[in-house]
Amino acid sequence: MPSFDLYWDTLAVLGVFSFVVYLFIMFVIIKNRKNEDMQSSFFKLWISLGVADCLHFIHSYTLMRLPLLGVFHDFYQANDSGVIPVFALLFSHYLFQTQLFGNLLFAINRYTAVAYVTKHELIWTNGYRLLIIIGVQWLLPLITVGQIARQNVVFTPLPPDNESLLLSVSPHDFVVNSIVASFVALFVMVSCAFFYIAAVVRYVTYKKSVISSSLKKKNNSEMRLLAAAIIVFISMAFYSIYQICLGVFSFLEKGDIVNIVISQWYLINDVFAMINPWSLLLTCSSIRRHLWRAVGVKQSQNAAVSAQTDTALASVQRNKLTSTLSTPRIVIVQDNLVEPVP
């Protein structure tokens, strides 16, 4: 059995720790979902992406990393062909693309939150509509990974000791899978970049306008969530560029370069899958408050007052947006975030 070196040990410790933090934050969000500061549609999309991230993390260990490290070697060798290796490769591509489409929903959600303040609530808070949107995130990848189910996927022993097992397919199938994943990654990366740039430009434009203090504070809170989404996008961009390079070098039959790229898959995968909770903790004060409360840490008086103020503001703003939807004149003013100067 291969020895565990510092690289694998460090990667495993950091990955498992981030995984536990991820699960705990998901629990905190679900537990406090009825609170005004947790009712943003962003958090529902965050939970959906979180499920995909955590499943991909578990999958990468149980069906890809453990065979590579020689753990449970006899079991994987006894099932070196058939359902298990096919499922391992198919589910890896499926979850990766589910993560990509989850990030695309992040980008669209953040753009509408900044660009269309009142319409954003109308678009994303409808339960059935949001459920359909999340359903598309999980169903669409089935179209692009279906070809893997018909491929001959096997666990291949690696020399010199043949203890390590690596998923492999025919050279033709490998190129096909890499190119399909590359096109999806490129499409999502470019689309996300477009929406995030448009959202930032829109926000800068609004800051130069005369806006009410309540709308300004709401827009600032949406920008903090936008910052969290952009951090995840940067990680996704690295993963997407990695996947695109893998597809290009596979198509050009650059075997040596492909092997170098593949060797870094586990690090890039863990960063992409586990960066989401840390980005939210870094940018979202309401998440930090609920997290400290969940672990029994008392808030200072100023923090408690700030939390009550933010919750009250969210409630007032939600009621205000609901009431103004029936008044066209006010809706136009709020969509432009401009109020007349006395």
Whole-number pLDDT of residue 207: 66
pLDDT per residue over 158-179, tens digit each? 766 667 788 888 888 988 998 8
Residue 339 located in a structural domain: no
Q: Which amino acid is at 274?
A: M
> How many other CB atoms are there within 10 angstroms of residue 214's CB atom?
12
Name the residue with higher pLDDT: 259 or 279: 279
Distance CA 206, CA 219 (A): 9
φ and ψ of 165, to 5 deg: -120, 135
Q: What is the pLDDT of residue 48?
A: 96
Q: Which position has the higher pLDDT, 89 or 68?
A: 89
- Is 80 exceeded by the pLDDT of residue 342? no
Confidence class for position 324, pLDDT limits 50, 70, 90? very low
CA distances (Å), origin 284, targets 42, 206, 220, 221, 310? 12, 21, 11, 8, 12
Where is average pLDDT lowest: 8-22, 99-113, 195-209? 195-209
Look at the chain and report how many structural domains it folds into: 1
- Burial tier of 239 (Cβ tally within 10 Å: 0-12, 13-18, 19+): buried
Give residue 279's domain range.
Answer: 6-333
User: What is residue 213's predicted lDDT score, i.e. its pLDDT?
Assistant: 57
Q: What is the pLDDT of residue 329?
A: 36
Of residues 151 and 39, the one with the higher pLDDT is 151
Angle at 221 between CA 217 and CA 225, to 5 degrees: 165
| Residue 102 · residue 42 · CB < 8 Å | no
Q: Write out the two tokens for 8.
A: 């694998």
Comparing CA positions, the residue from 178, 156, 158 lying closest to residue 81 is 156
pLDDT tens per residue across span 110-119: 999 888 877 8
**Reduced to 3 states, what is the DSSP secondary structure of residue 49?**
helix
pLDDT of residue 88: 92
Residue 315 pLDDT exceeds 60: no
pLDDT value of residue 45? 95
Strand extents, DSSP E, 111-229: 154-158, 164-168
Q: Are 103 and 49 in contact (CB under 8 A)?
A: yes
Tell me what the mean pLDDT of segment 101-123 comes to: 89
The DSSP call for residue 146 is G
**Mean pLDDT within 244-269:** 75
pLDDT for the residue 143: 92
Average pLDDT over residues 279-298: 88
Mean pLDDT, to the nearest integer, of 195-221? 73
> Does residue 342 form part of some domain?
no
Cis peptide before 340 (omega within 30 of 0): no
What is the average pLDDT score of the chain? 80
More confident position, 190 or 342: 190
Q: What is the mean pLDDT of residues 182-196?
A: 94
pLDDT at 20: 95
Contact 76, 157 (CB under 8 A): no
Is 49 part of a structural domain of the chain?
yes
Answer whether residue 202 is part of any domain.
Answer: yes
**332 burial type by CB count under 10 A (0-12 exposed, 13-18 middle, 19+ buried):** exposed
| CATH number for the domain harbouring residue 194 | 1.20.1070.10
With beta carbons less than 8 A apart as the criterion, state whether 109 and 69 touch.
no
Q: Is residue 341 part of a domain?
A: no
Helices and strands per DSSP (H, E), number in the chain: 15, 2
Residue 37: pLDDT band (50, 70, 90) is: confident
